[in-house]
Structure 1
Amino acid sequence: MKILAYLAFVLLGVVWGSNFIFMKWAADYIAPQQIAFLRVLCGFVPLVIFAVLRREVHLRDMRHIHHFVVMALLATAIYYFAFAKGTALLLSSVAGMLSGAIPLFAFVTALLFLRDERPTVKSLCGVALGFAGVVLIARPWQIDAGQVGEGGVSIAGTAYMIVGALSVGGSFVYARKFISPLKLSPLALSTYQIGIATAIFALATDVSGVGAVFDDPKTAIGLVVGLGVLGTGLAYILYYFIVDQLGAVAASGVTYLPPLVAMAIGIVLIGEPVAGLDVVAMVAILFGVFLQQIGRRAVPLTTIKPPPESRGHGRLLTPDARQSALEVQVKASKA
């Protein structure tokens, strides 16, 4: 079973890393908002089927719908739209590299809004190095806002990628403060989150001309199957399996793979002209994330009491352990 878990680990990294080229193809036919809508719609279908079969969704959970709406906005709607828009303005490989900065934004928002998240010299150095990598990719000193310069870099595109990373990073803080006490399963929360995001996009998206994406079979398959069914729906299922077999901390390491996969697809398979400075910047981002993760300050054990309706018993968990469990809910929606 461990072998299957490691195979799933690699597969998930490939699935997430390939999302950017699928978004890039679709952007030639439809608007970014339409891309995000079709993505969540196609991803929600297998996810809700899996959740129903597992008996994870319950009508009584709707008393927390206001929290689900916030999570749907932060961790899905804004995040997916911003990444689709950013990818449309950037090379897919560059967009994939920038996605590696998500853990940095999660750390910064936690530092600002969570009292038990205390910085260390190592974690702060990691954040500084990671953001230096983002600046190296954007190269604001070379081009005007919105224009594309060397390596296909757009300031506007980079800004959208940063907005998306900041949105999903902020969702970690919200989940930790307001979702954790609800004691919901990650699969249930993800189903509610994607379902509400699908409804939001359905109400807010002009679907005029959306059928144009189906004029190109390659693009249509990439959007519906690659980006929706696999990149959104199956990605959740794979992530749950990996967490169950290897643990949440080990599973979170999969976030290092998508930038590498996106770069490989862009350079090797698509022939995108990625500059050497972009590769250096991506290494800086990933190493910065690594430093930030290993530099987090250890905290004492805290006794956590379950709510009255919980079926389990009280157990000892560290705040970091609680956060690892919550990462299951949010990271599965990555890029």
Structure 2
Amino acid sequence: MKLKDVIMLLLLAALWGASFLFMRIGAPVLGPLVLIELRVLLACITLVIYALVSRHRIKILHKWWQYLILGATNAAVPFTLISVAELRLDAGLAAILNATTPMFTALTAWLWAKEPFRLKKLYGVILGIIGVSVLVGWGGSGHASHLWLFASFSLLAAVFYGIAGVFSSRHFKGEKPLDMAIGQQLGATLILLPFSLATLPHEIPPRVVLFSVLGLAVMCTAVAYLFYFALIHSVGPLKTLTVTFLVPVFGVIWGGLFLGESITARLIIGLLIILSSVALVANVRFKKRGVKRRPLQKF
């Protein structure tokens, strides 16, 4: 990759990692539903403006019900679940748990699309379970039970991402990425609207929360998607999707820097185990002349 592509990849990982920071700040004040409704609504508006400026003709109505499902499974539901999890979980921990998405995508593809589930993927799933256990802890203590409850919301979000990956691969072949991004955010906005209106806060939130909402919607969603599209066009999906390995690292870094979250040995060990699980499930291969990676495909 050229230097500009490497910089763009790091920026994408940093932005997606920062989304966990902003959700950790915004969710306890606004509530998960209102926070995510603002995220997808503002992101949709930003992407539509970009499409108009770039003279892109938006085409989403011909697949309106598919975009509603995509908006639910790839945005509205998982974003909300992560926000619920971050009412108690640290941003860094939530980011690492979200890295289990390829594991659940592989399981979904096996159960739904009858994709082959080779031994290497099975090892990856087992390793992922071990990594989650290391991160969250085990035993019958109240603290461990408390963590597992909220961690389950984050893991359930990864399950929905897996479902969305298989669904999109079956229903959106040939669709333009920008149309998919706009359709997804619009679908999520419509789905969350009635629920968010019922849970509006009674006071204007602090300035830091408002900035977090803007950062989450505009930078971590709309702008991040544009970086993602640009990288796919420049270096292809194979190298672009290596961002999966970088996002939890940035999530941990941002949580430590801006929220004072502890970066413990357990956190680092759990992170390394889960990233190893991702490598197995994604079938990462190393060769003498560099690294060859298969994409974290939407199976």
Residue type of the partner of 2:195? A
Residue type of the partner of 2:165? F
Q: CA deviation at 1:174?
A: 0.9
**In structure 2, how many angstroms separate the alpha carbons of the residues matched to 1:76 and 1:46?**
16
Corresponding residue of 1:46: 46
**In structure 1, how many angstroms separate the alpha carbons of the residues matched to 2:202 and 2:181?**
28
Decide whether aligned partners of structure 1 residues 33 and 209 sit closer, same or farther in structure 2, where only a CA change above 3 A counts.
Answer: closer
Counterpart among 185, 193, 208 of residue 194 in structure 1: 185
1:179 aligns with 2:178: no
Counterpart among 194, 198, 212 of residue 203 in structure 1: 194
Decide whether aligned partners of structure 1 residues 291 and 54 sit closer, same or farther in structure 2, where only a CA change above 3 A counts.
Answer: farther
Corresponding residue of 1:65: 64
**TM-score, length-scaled by structure 1:** 0.80
Number of aligned residue pairs:
290
Classify the secondary structure of the residue corresponding to 1:196.
helix
1:227 aligns with 2:209: no
**In structure 2, how many angstroms separate the alpha carbons of the residues matched to 1:162 and 1:140?**
16
* Native 8 Å contact 1:43 1:229 kept in 2: yes
Q: CA deviation at 1:138?
A: 2.2
Residue type of the partner of 2:170? K
Extract unaligned runs of 5+ from structure 2: 286-293
Residue type of the partner of 2:40? V
* Native 8 Å contact 1:21 1:266 kept in 2: yes
Q: CA deviation at 1:217?
A: 1.6
Q: Bigger shift: 126-135 or 230-239? A: 126-135
Q: Bigger shift: 215-224 or 241-250? A: 215-224
Decide whether aligned partners of structure 1 residues 220 and 172 sit closer, same or farther in structure 2, where only a CA change above 3 A counts.
Answer: same
Corresponding residue of 1:109: 108
* Native 8 Å contact 1:97 1:259 kept in 2: yes
Counterpart among 120, 123, 147 of residue 121 in structure 2: 123
**In structure 2, how many angstroms separate the alpha carbons of the residues matched to 1:129 and 1:106?**
15
**In structure 2, how many angstroms separate the alpha carbons of the residues matched to 1:165 and 1:273?**
24
**TM-score, length-scaled by structure 2:** 0.89
Residues 30-52 of structure 1: CA distance to partner in whole angstroms, max 9, x if unpaired? 11111111111121111112233
Q: How does 1:61-100 map to 2 (within 5 A)?
A: 61-100=60-99
Q: CA deviation at 1:265?
A: 1.9
**In structure 1, how many angstroms separate the alpha carbons of the residues matched to 2:171 and 2:265?**
43
Q: How does 1:121-160 map to 2 (within 5 A)?
A: 121-144=119-142, 148-149=143-144, 154-160=147-153
* Native 8 Å contact 1:42 1:229 kept in 2: yes
1:216 aligns with 2:216: no
Corresponding residue of 1:240: 229
Counterpart among 215, 237, 250 of residue 239 in structure 2: 250
Runs of 4+ aligned structure 1 residues displaced above 3 Å come to 207-212
Residues 246-296 of structure 1: CA distance to partner in whole angstroms, max 9, x if unpaired? 100110001111111111122344321344222211111111101111269
Decide whether aligned partners of structure 1 residues 36 and 143 sit closer, same or farther in structure 2, where only a CA change above 3 A counts.
Answer: farther
Extract unaligned runs of 5+ from structure 1: 297-319, 328-335
Corresponding residue of 1:317: none
